[in-house]
Amino acid sequence: MIKIKWSKKIVDFVRKIKEDRRLLSIIVVAIILIFVGIGSIAGYFVLPSSSIENELALSQAELKTCQKNLGECNNTTASLSTKISELEKNISKLTSNLSNCKLEKENYKSSLENCTKMKNKISDELKSCKKDLITALNNLEEQKKKYKKLNKSYEEIKTNFAKNKCCPLQKLVPDYKYYAVSENDVLCCRKEDKNYLCGPDEEKTSEEEVKQLIC
């Protein structure tokens, strides 16, 4: 029953439109305005939606960049923490080494002071020894001179004594042409073959000990 009533109303409305052209025009204009209004409303809502999507995309890109930067910062922080830990260990080791070096330096310093004292002592002793050496060399030269003088005198005495003792014997026995000194005594010597016979007992004497008798 309701559908029949609505059908009759629609049929009556269409008949009125056909009969009244002004009503038809009003209806057409109303329909056009409705479509234009709907388009404007849709455009109003579509444009803000597109802008929001763009802003959302930019925000997501910035978020990804921030996340990437955050990851890099975390990696850098971890790396720096490791390096800091290693540097702290090195600093601790170097501090310990520095303490040992300071201790060794003090020991070397003490040893150096002892060595310096010893060096000064040895230097003083060396100076004293040099003075003693100079004195000893001077004494040695004097003793050499005295020895040469005494030896010359001794040789002269020995030669004169040999002449006084052996030259008279040589006149009696011409073979006594040599002399030697043994135990502070002058022995007259003669040569027989390669041997030198000296003194009353005619002891054999080496050639190095025998000297030529000059009367």
Please provide the DSSP assignment of 133-160 as one string: HHHHHHHHHHHHHHHHHHHHHHHHHHHH
Is 88 inside a domain boundary? no
| pLDDT for residue 16 is more than 70 | no
Going by pLDDT thresholds of 50, 70 and 90, the confidence category of residue 158 is: confident
Mean pLDDT value of segment 26-49 = 57
pLDDT at residue number 200? 82
Is 150 inside a domain boundary? yes
Flag the least confident range among 42-51, 115-124, 175-184: 42-51
pLDDT at residue number 61? 82
Mean pLDDT value of segment 168-172 = 88
Question: Alpha helix locations (H) across 173-193?
Answer: none
| pLDDT for residue 21 is more than 60 | no
Is 112 inside a domain boundary? no
pLDDT at residue number 11? 53
Is 199 inside a domain boundary? yes
Is 6 inside a domain boundary? no
Cβ 32 vs Cβ 25: under 8 Å: no
Is 77 inside a domain boundary? no
Is 184 inside a domain boundary? yes
Residue 53 CA to residue 45 CA, distance in Å, equals 13
pLDDT at residue number 3? 45
pLDDT at residue number 33? 66
Q: What is the mean pLDDT of the chain?
A: 80
10: which 2 tokens?
């629609």
Domain count of the chain?
1
| pLDDT for residue 2 is more than 60 | no
Identify which has the larger pLDDT, 63 or 18: 63
Alpha-carbon separation of residue 162 from 150, 173, 185, 187 (angstroms): 18, 15, 9, 8
Residue 210 phi, psi (nearest 5): -100, 140
| pLDDT for residue 17 is more than 90 | no
Mean pLDDT value of segment 102-116 = 90
Phi-psi domain of 14 (left: phi exceeds 0; alpha: psi -120 through 50; beta: other): alpha
127: which 2 tokens?
């100076």
Identify which has the larger pLDDT, 27 or 94: 94
Q: How many helices (H) and strands (E) does the chain have?
A: 2, 5
Domain membership of residue 192 as a residue range = 141-212
pLDDT at residue number 5? 52
Residue 197 CA to residue 180 CA, distance in Å, equals 10
Going by pLDDT thresholds of 50, 70 and 90, the confidence category of residue 130 is: very high
